[in-house]
Amino acid sequence: MQGKRVLVTGGAGFIGSNLANALAVDNDVVVVDDGYLGTPDNLDDAVEYHETSVLAEDLPTNVDVLFHLAALSSYAMHEDDPATGARVNVEGFVNTVEQAREDGCETVVYASTSSIYGSRTEPSPEDMPVAVNTGYEASKLARERYAEYFSNHYDVTMAGMRFFSVYQGYGGAEAHKGEYANVIAQFADDIASGEAPVLYGDGTQTRDFTHVDDIVRGLERAAENELDGIYNLGTGEAYSFNTVVELLNEELGADVDPEYVENPIPDSVYVHDTCADPSKMREATGWEPEIEFREGIRRVCEQYD
């Protein structure tokens, strides 16, 4: 994508800052972030930064493309305060898209979630039935429905990207997230420090771990191709937490055993396994994940050399 004016909400956060910095090479990029899970330290100087909420009036929405990534992005954040979660994730989405639409923006790419697929070891296609067990999942599914409204009623292209388990490591833009960072980042930092990574249950749960660089490329492809509808961004491969610990130990030259604890999240809502079916995105744009898992692990561990 080149020569566009672009707004990235949540753009000082983990995924948002990686996207904003990549786009800023060839585009005029504006970021909105309220500073809750983001920091302007993640952003390159070329990015224009506004510390404000997606609930605000008069957002800088005079853009060609809107990437809406701003969200309260975890189960815990929503269960602590469901009303605020709904306001930020649903009202904030509608507020931002509506302002952008009124300013003439016709291309929107936004973050949804793979959590609504529930626990599945088989690859999950976009057209399978989905369910909501948490406030976080409800807010993301509500986004998808409002996106359908904006697409059908106003002819705005609305690409909803169901992210799987996105990682980069504390050497990238995840460091500020702390306990909300991907487990790969947390486990790597523990092992590098000689501390036992804490695994819920027996460590057999699996995730489709997708490197943030592949996610950024997917988001760009979605905008360039003016996609409309729902698309998975994942690799189609899944690894257990036990395997993650094993590979991190191998890469770091360590031998740290994990600590297994009772899962504090109820079994009825905990997503034990995820795996993407990325074929729809591949067929629509040619996108393929490029960073193989062991290479991703190597990149996470680079900072500890």
List the catalytic residues.
136
Distances (CA, A) of 105 to 29, 57, 69, 162, 280: 14, 17, 16, 22, 25
Round to whole Å and give the CA distance between 82 and 76.
10
In this structure, what DSSP letter does residue 63 have? S
3-state helix, strand, coil split of the chain in percent (to 5) is: 40, 20, 40
Cβ neighbours for 226, distance < 8 A, ≥ 6 positions apart: 107, 157, 159
Check: CB of residue 169 under 8 Å from CB of residue 209: no
Check: CB of residue 47 under 8 Å from CB of residue 21: yes
Strand ranges inside 114-208, DSSP E: 157-163, 165-167, 198-200, 206-207
Check: CB of residue 100 under 8 Å from CB of residue 108: yes
Of 210, 97, 93, nearest to 163 by C-alpha is 210
Check: CB of residue 63 under 8 Å from CB of residue 223: no
Q: Measure CA of the first residue to CA of the last residue in the chain; give whole Å.
A: 35
Round to whole Å and give the CA distance between 64 and 8.
11
